[in-house]
Amino acid sequence: MALTTQQLQDICKKSIPIIKSAGHFIREELGKVSNPDIEEKSLNSLVSYVDKTAEEKLVSGLRALLPEAGFLTEEGTVTQESKELNWIIDPLDGTTNFLFQIPVFSVSVALQEEGELVLGIVYEINRDECFSSWKNGGAFLNERPIRVSSRGTIAEGLIATGFPYYDYSKTPQYMEVLTTFMQSTRGIRRLGSAAVDLAYVACGRFDAFYEYSLHIWDVAAGILLVREAGGIVSDFQGRESYLSGDEILASSTQVYEECKGIVGKAFY
């Protein structure tokens, strides 16, 4: 039987202290990680004991909250298993920012029920901003309701993206989109945490966000935030095949068609 809206709200409320606790641990470790503590999992994909310990803390707390749920986690500190309910966890989204002491990084946690996103929380650690959402419950920033931007065109808007950092196969297409947005918007930002980018779309700070070659744990929580805040999420062609993170476009309803036209034309 599917979780009710009230049950999801309760789970969300109980999840937030667990997520914030992991975030507080991460903040306490800022500036303490030395080069020998850092591993390169793949090209430009860094990890340290901070990511792994934060993930262990999240898994422990969330398992106690929902013993029946499985886990899909970035660092693989727990057995990856698919169940009716599954937590999707990125313990430190923006690891490179964290290691270089650039203050934009977050904890991203989503809950999936039979393949559908039903809960999403992004905790931006440095500003102590907790973005939360659950299916049919709306989206919130520190418990206050949020909505996507109401700006009517991209000419009035601010766009977020993530630069390719390991998959350079679509660099020409990416640069074409970047150039178009550069010339036709208020500006472009690259913060270094896709989870934060999506949260900022949800609360109207950004009008749109696009990136390719991400992973499910980078985007799962943010996707639900944007949708519950009244926005639209798709791949670059407008299809609902975005959960993998291979391609993602998230925006307000006002500028979605305009943005989709730009990225779709360049990539397809």
3-state secondary structure of 226: helix
pLDDT confidence of residue 114: 95
**All domains of the chain, ordered by start, with CATH?**
5-145 (3.30.540.10), 154-267 (3.40.190.80)
Bridge partners of residue 108, in order along the sequence: 90, 122
Contact 198, 108 (CB under 8 A): no
pLDDT confidence of residue 78: 86
Contact 228, 138 (CB under 8 A): yes
**CA-closest candidate to residue 97, choices 56, 46, 39:** 46
Helices (H), 37-136: 49-65, 95-99
d(CA 265, CA 141): 34
Q: What's the whole-number average pLDDT of the chain?
A: 95
**CA 252 from centre of chain:** 16
Could you tell me which residue, 244 or 212, shows the higher pLDDT? 212
> Which regions of the chain does DSSP assign to beta strands (E)?
39-42, 45-47, 70-73, 85-93, 106-113, 116-124, 129-134, 138-141, 144-145, 158-161, 187-189, 208-212, 232-234, 247-251
Mean pLDDT, rounded, for 143-150: 98
pLDDT range class, residue 253, cuts 50, 70, 90:
very high
Residue with tokens 């998959």: 167
Give the β-pairing of 187-189 and 158-161: parallel
Burial of residue 1, with CB atoms counted within 10 A of its CB: 0-12 exposed, 13-18 middle, 19 or more buried: exposed
Mean pLDDT, rounded, for 139-153: 97
Q: What is the DSSP letter of 169?
A: T
pTM: 0.96
pLDDT in tens, 33-87: 988 878 888 766 778 899 999 999 999 999 999 999 999 998 888 888 889 999 9
- Of how many residues is the chain composed? 268
pLDDT in tens, 180-192: 999 999 999 999 9
Q: Report the Cα–Cα distance between both ends of the chain, in Å, rounded.
A: 40
Could you tell me which residue, 46 or 194, shows the higher pLDDT? 194
